[in-house]
Homo-oligomer: A and B are copies of this chain.
């Protein structure tokens, strides 16, 4: 009997992709929840940020990254970047996966967050989404929340300065900028706010403080690993398994000392960033 096909026993090589290093937060949560699976992290630090770019460019970059992770034997990929999830994921799932890797999977981080938000929020309540310009323009969160709750009131707000502030040592200057971003959300009476960018949990406390203590914050780091575990239980048919060793590898397309410093801030226990050639 091949017990590797039993739900919960299957061990996969999981790819985690982000435009930069913000996705390390989700990778860390996934490794904590599913420590025996191999994990290959890819951060496209040579071309970060994605959130200010066009839909077509975001698709091209994300497609290259997903292709790289599949060629490196990942059986399931988490697109940890909300911008990439919003602007590229559906097309990759519909046009690329069926013809190239029909037995593998690519999942995003929007649907788990939308589900968690709806599960936690009363009818009539107002949902807020704080995200990059590209994610807001895509309206992907609006689409996903509306699928689950057709009459939902949803207010979106782009926060383009938060990623650079977080990545470049500017967190101490963030509060007045956050206050300006959240003002329309407060005016609209938002009671559940989705942090719709992988970086924002770094300033979660500041956002909570600016919104007020009664507002529920949905943080993908709390949500995605559990949803992924459920997904793996329900989908034992995913390609694999190969013998796994729980190896965790972190790769970036550009190495700088500030990237290393940012990574060390997220993994105080130490992390080795391997540099690979650009994806383009």
Name A58's closest neighbour in chain B (CB-CB).
Answer: B254
A264 at the interface (CB under 8 A from B): no
- Which single residue of chain B is at the shortest CB-CB distance from A165? B161
Assess whether A274 is interfacial by the CB under 8 Å rule. Answer: no
The verdict on A270 contacting chain B, using a C-beta distance below 8 Å, is no
Size class of A's contact patch?
20 to 34
A226 CB to closest chain B CB (Å) equals 34
Contacts of A278 in B (CB 8 A): 57, 60, 280
Cβ of A254 and Cβ of B47 under 8 Å apart?
no
How far does the alpha carbon of A56 sit from the alpha carbon of B254 in the complex, in Å?
Answer: 9
CB-CB contacts of A48-61 with B at 8 A, as 1s and 0s? 00001110110010
Q: Tell me the nearest residue of chain B to A137, going by C-beta.
A: B257
Of residues 37 through 73 on chain A, the ones whose CB sits less than 8 Å from some CB of chain B are 45-47, 52-54, 56-57, 60
Within 8 Å of chain B (Cβ to Cβ): is A213?
no
A241 contacts the other chain (CB 8 A): no
The segment out of A26-34, A78-86, A166-174 that lies at the interface is A166-174
In the assembly, what is the distance between CA of A167 and CA of B164, in Å?
Answer: 11
Given A47-B47, A57-B253, A160-B258, 10 further pairs, Cβ under 8 A: A46-B53, A52-B256, A52-B258, A54-B255, A56-B254, A133-B256, A133-B258, A160-B170, A161-B164, A161-B170
18 contacts between A and B (CB under 8 A): A45-B53, A46-B53, A46-B57, A53-B254, A57-B254, A57-B278, A60-B278, A133-B256, A160-B168, A160-B258, A161-B165, A161-B173, A164-B164, A164-B165, A164-B168, A173-B173, A173-B176, A280-B280
